[in-house]
Amino acid sequence: MSDTTTEADATEGDGPVIDGVPVTLNGRAIVAHQGELIIEAAERNGVYIPRFCYHRRMEPVGMCRMCIVEVDTGAVRRCCPAACSSAPRT
Ligand code: FES
């Protein structure tokens, strides 16, 4: 028995299992980790979102609204959550 996992082992159904949320960030496809905040996923992928009240060592409070981002869910109305207190959703 092998203790390594291959891509073939991680497949289920039609394709590979993605551990995270697929997101398009400024036109580029990325995967946000489960529970990761938008501001964290963006920063991990080289996009800095301006912030005042967010610090990675503190609980997010979402008070200043400096980090508001546009989220296109495909719905008619686009929504603008605070990136420091919102996680990407499918
Ligand atoms: S940094 Fe203040 S609301 Fe996000």
What are the sequence ranges of the domains in the chain?
A: 17-90
Characterize 35-60 residue by residue with b for buried, 16 or more Cβ atoms within 10 angstroms of its Cβ, and e for exposed: ebbbbbbbeeeebebebebbeeeeeb
Cα of 84 vs centre of ligand 1, distance in Å, is 5
The ligand 1 atom at the shortest distance from the C-alpha of residue 62 is 3
The number of the ligand 1 atom at minimal distance from the alpha carbon of 39 is 4
Note down pLDDT in tens along the chain; length 90 residues: 334 333 444 445 576 666 899 999 999 999 999 999 999 999 999 999 999 999 999 999 999 999 999 998 887 777 899 999 999 887
Q: Which helix (H) or strand (E) holds 64?
A: none
Q: Whose CA is nearest to atom 3 of ligand 1?
A: 62
The model's pTM is 0.76
- Cβ of residue 60 lying under 6 Å from some atom of ligand 1: no
